Chains A and B, each alone.
Chain A
């Protein structure tokens, strides 16, 4: 049965983390049917069993719900999920582009937070109808009236009629369903026009290849048809289209206004990029949908196989991750200290951590990560402009006319009591204060321009620690600014260790150099000789520490029973040595490379 276009509602739920987005989604799914009454009888169970047998797990990026409204009509709701982190802003914007409306969930005790704002602005950019919902009104500390005022004041959207709900208990959730029917506009678009569909997510599995989640804006797409991705200009034959309920349900076709999935034996997510427009090459739509961006990494770091780990294994794992992650880039590089490894690019810090963690957990790899870096723009004295992200590639100072670094505009939302410490922190991180807005008497949002290289160093940890977790941060790339940057090197026993080299602001170099040297003294074991640790800029030493020579490493007694114990102690010592990196005549433990990145509580 084809659903009438005017009975379709495409929407997302947007919220700050922990404000109840997924609880509300669960409740909506529970309180609606997954299928129309007719589809219920026709459920294609064999298909599901097959998938279950193969152990395929379908990532539900969009789920189709059927709601019988109070007006007696059946409506099809397409609930489209959005990733909730600043690193994935582009993906969020594409998911929102597939919708006509957004349910904005605000915690009745916490109010508007940094991510709430960021997501609301993205939704407003997409011209979405925004339905505010106040959640957690069952909590004793709920202040729905104040929160409604806050939403109206800060975001400027009418919220008097916002449903006051408890997603946890299901209280008033029906009001949300009715509001979606009443307020979210039905999709428009001509089913007879040339095909125009948006890819808002894609993922890879080894059975079907890439599955694209699409929103059809105009025309129709069906299995057997040849389609073309307008940005990558690649064409594929569609093998299946369908909708998502709790599983994939194949359909004859998807028409203008509908949301569903499409498979076409695509081998890599790079060929079905999020934001791309699908059309019919024989009868193409004149213009692709706006907003497509090729995602560009913002943060880079080196990933190296740890001692005993194989370079090729790491490469295979990165390749496998890349099939499913169009934003991950990597290329081989060589470090004097760490040997052969990879330079990897990420959307942001969280993305970087996710990839590192997946390499360690899913692939069981032992890796060493170098300090994250950003892309610096260098104008040489010759007039040539180059971009570098690996400090080792920085040209000699004499060849550099000036350098620029990326700057983000950051919004930090915080209870007023932490304004002082946050301002101090931002100051310390070379932030430029823009303004401060009062959200209410006890909460403000601080706007700063911050150099990205300070944000990726330890800003999150410092912010968390200084505000006991109460402040939230959101940022977006603003542009580049000229800056007095220098390359700082670390010398261990007079040998330069490239994996520790950093590009830092001139004014921060001394402090960073000293802090790194101090930490290395703590983590590098003592040797038979004294080991000097130096931080240098060019030939100038800016910090120096010494690891004292080891004077004693001997077991006094060694008798009958002790020999087993003694041997085990030595075995442990040897095992520890194995995990060391030999740098000149100094053995450096792998955690040394991590320690350098950690936030220093003492500061």
Chain B
């Protein structure tokens, strides 16, 4: 039986970061408790349909899952264990924010079965952190890592954002130097995207904050990747690096189009050749679950052609790129026969490189990957 991924969304934060346009609200305890109750009900409904699948990975994300009460994570994982089969070596991740974690909480997560923690570090410069609305400091990052290690976590990710307001290349290098010392197993490194409905975007439009130039931002990216690679990390996706064997299996599942179900407000599912998503309105979410139906608000049929382009778009973002053999087994035709023109065009402009069994993005291709991906649309 094929393994699936399970995503659980916790849409609450103590405070919304200024760059964030995800579904999250500053929750009060009453709403948080109610949500947790419904989340568990939804898992039960999901299990009626998908309980036959083995769960290979679980990812509890948000929002900030650590705003839940200490026992909640155990309750949620408990019901999953009761209704689904979780494979023995499953990767079970959860997101936490530095500064919100006590040793007791960390131990309780560990005991509940969490074996990977993803931490939003973003920067090791307190000025950077303040301007993007993070509530933690760089010192709290260090102490949180200590707590996690003491509680026995051996697989920790740190999320970094570069291209922050007023950030210089040198600032970012200093952040990386400090992050290296934390000796985490996994690093995600995202270029900041100014999303339209965020405070930061609004400030930028009004000229209240200045952003690094495109050249500086790209320099941060490439030099950042190089620095981390010199320190034992290996890049495996445009924004992700890991020490050997610590690549995030849950995310790789997305990128390899493996089936997954999402539980909770606004989460997405892709399973049995359907793609659908839950409502992002609390009241709708609650009332649908009260009616004992899945709180789905939208659906998309993925045709064979779309499936193929998504496969290519996601694969090309991986360092291993698109393997001719894998493509052929999946789609029953030769990759180069269909895409020779596109591939040659992008080799010529230096975005793609080709070896005997695969194509992948060059460094320049990683800057301009959309240009390649567009050509993989049907």
Contacts and interface: CB of A to CB of B under 8 A. Distances in A.
A1 interface: no
B254 to A, nearest CB: 5
Interface stretch (B29-37, B67-75, B96-104, B307-315): B307-315
Interface in A268-321: none
B214 A551 contact: yes
Nearest to A558: B317
A350 interface: no
Contacts of B155: none
B374 A551 contact: no
A553 B190 contact: no
A577 interface: yes
Contact of B313 (A552, A556, A559, A567): A567
B238 interface: yes
A355 B313 CA distance: 45
B368 interface: yes
Interface in A524-580: 528, 550-561, 563-564, 566-567, 569-571, 573-574, 577
B369 A573 contact: no
Interface stretch (B77-85, B202-210, B225-233, B260-268): B260-268
Contact of A560 (B218, B238, B270, B349): B270
Interface in B325-378: 349, 351, 366-371, 373-374, 377
B251 A551 contact: no
Contact of B275 (A551, A564, A569, A571): A564
A558 B260 CA distance: 15
A567 B370 contact: no
Contacts of B310: 563, 567
Nearest to A567: B310
B201 interface: no
A563 B367 CA distance: 19
A555 B237 CA distance: 12
Contacts, number: 85
B255 interface: yes
A564 B298 CA distance: 12
Given A557-B190, A573-B370, A551 B218 contact: yes
B191 A573 contact: no
Contacts of A551: 214-215, 218, 367
B377 A571 contact: yes
B193 interface: yes
A268 B227 CA distance: 78
Contact of B377 (A528, A561, A574): A574
A408 to B, nearest CB: 45
A554 B370 contact: yes
Contacts of A564: 268, 275, 277, 300
Contacts of A560: 5, 7, 254, 260, 262, 267-268, 270
Nearest to A556: B190
A559 B266 CA distance: 14
Contacts of A559: 251, 254
Nearest to A551: B214
Contacts of B313: 563, 566-567, 570
B125 interface: no
Nearest to A571: B377
Contacts of A553: 367-371
A402 to B, nearest CB: 48
A552 B317 contact: no
B216 to A, nearest CB: 10
B281 interface: no
A570 B368 contact: no
B330 to A, nearest CB: 17
Contacts of B251: 559
Contacts of A571: 377
A368 to B, nearest CB: 23
B100 to A, nearest CB: 22
Interface string B262-285: 100011101000010100000000
Contacts of B317: 558
Interface in B293-320: 300, 306, 309-310, 313-314, 317
Interface of A: 528, 550-561, 563-564, 566-567, 569-571, 573-574, 577
15 contacts: A528-B349, A550-B368, A552-B191, A553-B369, A553-B370, A556-B190, A556-B193, A559-B254, A560-B5, A560-B7, A563-B310, A564-B300, A567-B306, A567-B310, A570-B377
Interface of B: 5, 7, 190-193, 214-215, 217-218, 238-239, 251, 254-255, 260, 262, 266-268, 270, 275, 277, 300, 306, 309-310, 313-314, 317, 349, 351, 366-371, 373-374, 377
Given A561-B267, A569-B370, 13 more contacts: A552-B217, A552-B218, A552-B368, A554-B368, A554-B369, A555-B193, A559-B254, A560-B260, A560-B267, A563-B254, A563-B313, A570-B313, A574-B374
CB-CB nearest 9 A-B residue pairs: A561-B268, A556-B190, A551-B214, A553-B370, A554-B369, A560-B254, A556-B191, A553-B368, A574-B374
